[in-house]
Each structure stands twice: as C-alpha cells, then as structure tokens.
Amino acid sequence: MPKTRILVIDDDAPIRDSLRMTLEYNGYDFVGAATGPEGLVLAERDAPDLVLLDIKMPGMDGMDVLSRLRSMDETMPVVMISGHGTTSTAVEAIKRGATDFLDKPFESTDRLLVTIGNALEQGRLRVENRSLKKDAEVRHQMVGESGALQQVMAAVGRAAPTNATVLIQGESGVGKELVARTIHRNSLRRRERFVQVNCAAIPEELIESELFGHEKGSFTGATEKQVGKFEQADKGTIFLDEVGDMSQKTQAKVLRVLQEGEVERLGSARTIKVDVRVIAATNKNLEEEIEKGSFREDLYFRLAVIPIQVPSLRERPDDIPLLVRHYMEYFSRENNTRAKRVTNAALETMQRNRWQHPRTAQHGRAPDHHDGRRHH
C-alpha cells in the first residue's frame, strides 16, 4: 500500500527539514518545495494527499498558492502554516478553502500530527462525497436524443435558472422525478437541499405534519417536535410528487406557503418564514380534477407557472437503445463486471413494446408504460 504523500511548501529550509524528519519518522512520504511556483508544479506532478503551505513567502504568497491549488483540485486538503498568524488571516485562509491553520513554531509534534490526521480525513470525506454526487448524477441522468425529450430538456433549461414554480405532468414512471432533480441540479439552489415528498404515500392524517411539522404534544403520538419538509428545504427545493393526491385542507396550506412564504407547525401559533422553490408533479389531469372539485384552481395556477409535460417511453422509442446502453454500463460499473452487449433483435423487440403498466393492463385503462422509476 503506498504511503500517504505530504507536500510542504515553505521558503524556510530549517522548517522544511524539521517537517521532513517528523513526517518520515511517522510513516509519511515527504515532498518539499521552497517557493509557490515550485510547489504548484510538484502538486500537479505528484498529486499529494495533503499540502502544508506557508502563508508568507517571497514572490507568490501562500494565499495565491492556495487559490491555485483549489482550482487544481477542490478536494485536496491544505493546512496553512504561519509564524505571523492572526485570527483574520486564519479566517481568510479558511474562506479560500484551507482545511486548517497552524502557527509555527509548532506547539507540539502531537498537535501537528493530529491536525494532519484530521485534514486527511476531511480530504477523504470530500473525495467520497464528490464520488457519491457524481454517482447520483449518473443515476438521475436524463438519457435520450429524441425530439420529444429535447423539448423537455429545453423546458428544463428555461426553468432551471429561475425561482418559478414548476408543474411536471406525465404518466407513472416517465421520469418526473428525474426532471425535477435536473432542474434543481442546474438551478441557483443546487448547493442546497432537494427534499422529496411523495404525497400519495403519506396517510392524509399525517401529510400536514410531514409537510409543515408539529410541536410536541400537538396531537396524540406527537412525543417530539418535528421539523416539516418545507423547513428542511429552506433555501433549497421541495419536490411535491403526486401533488394531485393532496386533500383540500392540505392544498390550502400549501397555497399559503406559495403566497406568503411562511409555514405554521401543527400546535403552534408562530409562523416561520421559508425560502423554498416548489416543484410539483402529478400523473393526473389537474384541469379535470378542478372540474370535479377535488383540486383547487388557485393552487393549480400557482404551481403551473412553468408547466412541463414528460412523454412516455412509447412516444420516444428511438431513445431505447441509448437507455439500454446507459444502464448496462452503469450497472456493470456498480457491480464491477464487464458490460454485456444487447443484440439488435432484442433492441428492436423493446422498441416495438407498448410499455404498458401492469396495473393499467389489469383494469383495462389506457396503456401506460413501465420503464422503471428512474430509467430516464
């Protein structure tokens, strides 16, 4: 197993020598640089696991080097070291992406090693988090080149940069969640939370508590305070899936959030301001539900500022080979196996399939497709 490599960038030769002896004694691989430019060359060449970086150096100082290192690799942990450290300097270094800050001469070898250990762990978590995000993006990727899907992507492109509410409509399984996640991922709120609520899966007596939260003792069984989904999504995006299944009472409260930007927990008279972007989805025809009196017209118009209709897979059969290839490769990587090849005959068979949902087939309703909850 290769040793953990630490790059020390410091113009003070005795400090570099001291750190080299300490690090090598404790099992680390040492790389040293006397200037910022030299350090950047070594960082790019050797890809160290951690950088110890002096702030005050002639020519390019440590802050400039830090900025360059961050643009080179945002996950690489960098610990700033300085003999003239101040609180403001440390705060500025952390703002620019430093992992930690050490004064020199070092308080003790133990303190140095603990700081290095903590920084390495933070770096590992950053790499892991980036990998998980990348995996999630692949898993929630919209795949296809058909005209029908391109229309959806164009609508997503128009919706993403705005804070407007979006109503996504389409049959069960067409990928409405993927559209919602793509909008969030490309929005100004992408660094904040994406909170999903399946309105059809939560019993009516619990949906208000789930969305708006409750205070302890507000109803039988409320043994602890609960923060609602709207509060959890503050500054981010809330995705109300199957919004057409909400009761009239809950619809009225959601409308208030959209109008006033505030929620009220069950059992509390205090209102809480929230800044939430709402994306809703449904497989129902809400205009028909309005005529029946089961969905509020004012809520519909609040939600459908940007409407997006997602086509079924049977409306975009040309995308099936791309989807098959995408998921064969994805699942092969996930299971560490070689990707399997699908014959042209099999692809043609899939393209001819009507993709009828088993439930609709049983009840004789209009054909629906079942291409997987997250397959496009």
How confident is the model over 66-113, as pLDDT tens digits?
999 988 888 889 999 987 766 777 788 888 889 898 888 787 889 899
Using the structure block, give the residue that is written with the tokens 């960038």: 9
pLDDT at 269: 77
Asked, for residue 369, whether it belongs to a domain, the answer is: no
Q: Are residues 101 and 44 in the same domain?
A: yes
Residues 337, 264 within the same domain: no
Q: Are residues 156 and 296 in the same domain?
A: yes
End-to-end distance of the chain based on CA atoms, in angstroms?
A: 40
Q: Which of 105, 120, 137 represents a domain boundary (last residue)?
A: 137
Q: Quick one: 124 and 154 in the same domain?
A: no
Helix (H) or strand (E) holding 304: none
Whether 103 maps to a domain, the answer reads yes
Q: Are 195 and 229 part of one and the same domain?
A: yes
Place of tokens 């509410």: 165
The pLDDT assigned to 51 comes to: 95
pLDDT tier at 376, thresholds 50, 70, 90: very low
Taking 3-state DSSP, the helix, strand and coil percentages for the chain, each rounded to the nearest 5, stand at 45, 15, 35
Helix residue ranges, H only, the chain: 13-25, 36-46, 62-72, 87-95, 109-139, 147-159, 176-185, 204-212, 229-232, 248-260, 286-292, 297-303, 320-334, 344-352, 358-363
Same domain, 298 and 232: yes
Residue 177 lies in a domain: yes
Q: In terms of domains, do 301 and 324 share one?
A: no
Among candidate residues 137, 167, 201, the one where a domain is terminated: 137
- 53: domain CATH number? 3.40.50.2300
pLDDT higher than 50, residue 368: no
> What is the structure's pLDDT at 85?
60
Instruction: Tell me, yes or no, whether 272 and 124 share the same domain.
Output: no
Q: Transcribe 52-63 into DSSP letters.
A: EEES--SSS-HH
Is the pLDDT score of 367 beyond 60?
Answer: no
Average pLDDT over residues 180-192: 91
Mean pLDDT value of segment 129-152: 69
| Locus of tokens 């791309």 | 322
Q: Which amino acid would we find at residue 180?
A: A
User: Could you tell me which of 376, 375, 374, 356 has the C-alpha nearest to residue 366?
Assistant: 356
User: For residues 162 and 156, what is the distance between their CA atoms, to the nearest angstrom?
Assistant: 10
Half-sphere exposure of 118 (CA within 13 A, CB side): 12
Domain boundary among 137, 156, 185: 137
Q: Which of 228 and 127 is assigned the larger pLDDT? A: 228
Is residue 374 assigned to a domain?
A: no
**Structure confidence at residue 1 (pLDDT):** 66
Residue matched to tokens 């209709």:
309
Q: How many CB atoms lie within 10 A of CB 372?
A: 12
For residue 358, what are the domain limits? 316-363
Backbone angles phi, psi at 316, to 5 degrees: -140, 55
A 10 A CB-CB count for 103 gives 15
Percent residues over pLDDT 90 in the chain: 47
Q: Is residue 110 part of a domain?
A: yes
Band (pLDDT 50/70/90 cuts) for residue 131 is low
Distance CA 349, CA 232 (A): 45
Domain count, the chain: 3
Instruction: Give the CATH number, domain containing residue 247.
Output: 3.40.50.300
CB 176 within 8 A of CB 170: yes
What pLDDT was estimated at residue 86?
A: 66
Average pLDDT over residues 156-185: 92
Identify residue 68 by its one-letter amino acid code.
R
Predicted confidence at residue 356, as pLDDT, reads 59
Q: Which has more pLDDT, 304 or 1?
A: 304
Tell me, yes or no, whether 228 lies in a domain: yes
- My answer on whether 292 and 169 are in the same domain is yes
Length of the chain as a residue count:
376
Q: Which tokens is 137 given?
A: 């993006």
Indicate if 166 and 245 belong to the same structural domain.
yes
> Is the pTM value of this prediction over 0.75?
no
The tokens 């003999």 sit on which residue?
Answer: 83
Same domain for 84 and 49: yes
> Same domain for 10 and 62?
yes
Q: Taking the CB of residue 332, how many other CB atoms lie within 10 A of it?
A: 13
Strand, coil or helix: what is 296? coil
Torsion of CA 124, 130, 134, 137, to 10 degrees: 140
Mean pLDDT of 335-350: 82
How buried is 364 (Cβ within 10 angstroms: 0-12 exposed, 13-18 middle, 19+ buried)? Answer: exposed
For the beta sheet containing 5-9, the strands, ordered from the edge strand earlier in sequence to the opposite edge, are 29-33, 5-9, 50-54, 78-82, 100-103
The residue assigned the tokens 């090693």 is 113
